[in-house]
Chain A
Amino acid sequence: MSRTTHVFRLFVAGREHNSALARTNLAQLCEKHLKGRHRIDIVDVLKNTAIALEFRVLVTPTLMLVRPRPEVTVLGNLNDTREVLAALRLIGGER
């Protein structure tokens, strides 16, 4: 676990299409860019409404990059890989 550098929290709504897409897209992306050093916590807003409320998750899917800081929020099914990688600071603009 000590090798984990990236922690994600992905909010989904049951098995709806966009939520399923986001899960797949995130898993593929992590496999390619963060192999063995990431963790994904999935929260189903239909079951865990209290957590959705706590994080004010209004739209699904919502991806939060919890670690490393600063936090990043990405809304949508994560279809555009380049855009997602840039948002998560995994390509370009990285110091």
Chain B
Amino acid sequence: MARSKGRRRELAKLPTGIAGLDEVLGGGLPAGRMTLLNGGPGSGKSLIGLQSLLHGARAGEPGILILFEERADAVRLNARSLGWDLAALERTNKLYLFDARLNPGAIVTGDFSIKGLLAILDRQVKSMRARRLVIDAVDRLVQLYDSASRERQELSSLHEWLLDRKLTTIMTVKAMPEDDRRSRHAFLDFMADCVIDVDQRVTTQVATRRLRVVKYRGSGYGRNEYPFIIGENGINVIPITSNVLQHPAPGPRVSTGLTRLDDLVAGGYKRGTSVLIVGTAGAGKTTLGCTFAQAACRRGERVLYLSFEESPESLVSNMLSPGLVLRPLIKRGQLVVQSYLPEAMGVEEHLFHALQALDELRPKHVIVDAITACRRMGSESAAFEYLMRVLNACRERGITCLYLNQATGTDIVAEISGIGISSIIDTAVLLRQLPIDGTMTRQLIVMKSRGTPHSEQFHEFRITDRGIDLDEA
């Protein structure tokens, strides 16, 4: 395709080394060109710059960090908390931190230029053969000028200088209110080959960071807003492909763990699809989920159980009474139970852990218990986002996904919607308890099973010490 357009060639890119970001950028930063990173204070933009510089330095591409705002010592100290030893790279001339804070007491009278800066940089670039450059808080430099046209001239000469030396550059700039940005920083946006906006929002007490690529000259890029977290090893961006058409077609049937339930859904759940199990507290959702898990593990298929309700220990001991013995499955690594407190972290971090587990453990099936608890990650929309992303990630990987949902009212049928995800669910199973003739009777009905003929009747069941005992129709 690139050839048919004649002189148009694939743009050379340099990876940032930041998980997820290179994916969003279709490979990395434009090589030898300038990328602008807009963001408010604390948005993580400086860290993105530093991390990409570090990645380059380790890959044998020396880099320079120009600090207009922060002290070099503070940057070294921050980096150490992420396990990055900047001093070691500085000693071997792979990294150079240039403390370029302007003297706050300096008085400005008359015009001036940034030739001093360029002379210093020139020398440093040559002596260490630098290939990458990060200019942190360029707004501090620009502020010195009170004329917009001089500001542009100086930015242009800086830009020319970068291009001449083929330096792959990130400039970070403090996000301005919309008006200011249009007038003052529009020029920066225009100059840059790639522009990334970064921000941090707080919704219902949970902070979320996001980034969005606004522009990438000559390249395609992911157009969504991508959440990211600052984890133990730095920035992690969570890219999502939401293109359903890319999902592999659902595979063959997998047993629900109950022969009679298999009969109700034409042989089992379809592999790689999504299943919603809804019911009031104590209706047997977890038991039905674990029945499925046990059967899968016995077939040698790994199951990831994400529990937002109880610890692995309490899950194991609670499942003993319906006769499900999970401990040996956990010991063999066939069943992996991960418990998280929903409110312990933001939705990005939850997502990050879930997606990491999918990639590292490569389970065949995932169970989320219970999706109702996901609301406690911040809000209804946070829960929706989490569940959608996990579901999509599972589809892409051909993983069967079981969502357990606790109904709170009596009208369970109305509640099957479960945080608005019912439309994307392939199969929905409803569990309820009814007092009939003075005893509590458990019933199960398959509410929905996409593309599959299924029973439309309520079926009674009992939870015995040998598992779920489901009546035939």
Contacts and interface: CB of A to CB of B under 8 A. Distances in A.
Interface of A: 11, 13-14, 16, 18, 21-22, 45-46, 49-50, 52-53, 56-62, 72-80, 83-84, 87
A52 B119 contact: yes
Closest 10 CB pairs of A and B: A13-B115, A76-B110, A77-B110, A79-B110, A58-B117, A73-B106, A57-B116, A87-B107, A49-B123, A45-B116
- Max chain A CB contacts within 10 Å: which of B105, B106, B141, B144? B106
Interface residues of B, number: 24
Given A73-B103, A75-B106, A18 B112 contact: yes
B473 interface: no
Contacts of B111: 18, 76-77, 79
B70 interface: no
18 contacts: A13-B116, A13-B119, A16-B115, A56-B99, A57-B120, A60-B114, A60-B115, A60-B116, A75-B108, A75-B144, A76-B108, A76-B112, A77-B110, A77-B112, A78-B110, A79-B109, A84-B109, A87-B107
A52 B122 CA distance: 12
Nearest to B124: A53
B227 to A, nearest CB: 36
B128 to A, nearest CB: 14
A84 B112 CA distance: 15
B407 to A, nearest CB: 65
Contacts, number: 96
B138 to A, nearest CB: 12
B329 interface: no
A52 B112 contact: no
A60 B110 contact: no
A50 B119 CA distance: 10
- Max chain A CB contacts within 10 Å: which of B107, B109, B141, B144? B109
B400 to A, nearest CB: 59
A77 B122 CA distance: 23
B163 interface: no
A52 B117 CA distance: 8
B100 interface: yes
A84 B102 CA distance: 19
A64 to B, nearest CB: 9
Interface string B262-278: 00000000000000000
B116 A58 contact: yes
B109 A80 contact: yes
A75 B115 contact: no
Contacts of B106: 62, 73-75
Contacts of A77: 109-112
A16 B154 CA distance: 14
B120 A53 contact: yes
A87 B107 CA distance: 7
B441 interface: no
Given A58-B117, A62-B116, 13 more contacts: A13-B113, A13-B115, A45-B120, A46-B115, A52-B119, A53-B120, A58-B116, A59-B112, A59-B117, A61-B112, A73-B103, A75-B109, A76-B108
A17 to B, nearest CB: 8
Contacts of B144: 59, 75
Nearest to B98: A53
A74 B112 CA distance: 11
B114 A87 contact: no
A40 to B, nearest CB: 17
Contacts of A58: 100, 102, 114, 116-117, 120, 141
A49 B100 CA distance: 14
A84 B100 CA distance: 24
A72 B107 contact: yes
Contacts of A22: 110
B110 A80 contact: yes
- Max chain A CB contacts within 10 Å: which of B110, B111, B116? B116
Contacts of A78: 109-110
A73 B119 contact: no
A49 B125 CA distance: 13
B119 A49 contact: yes
Nearest to B154: A59
B109 A45 contact: no
Contacts of A74: 106-109
A72 B117 CA distance: 20
Nearest to A50: B123
B99 A45 contact: no
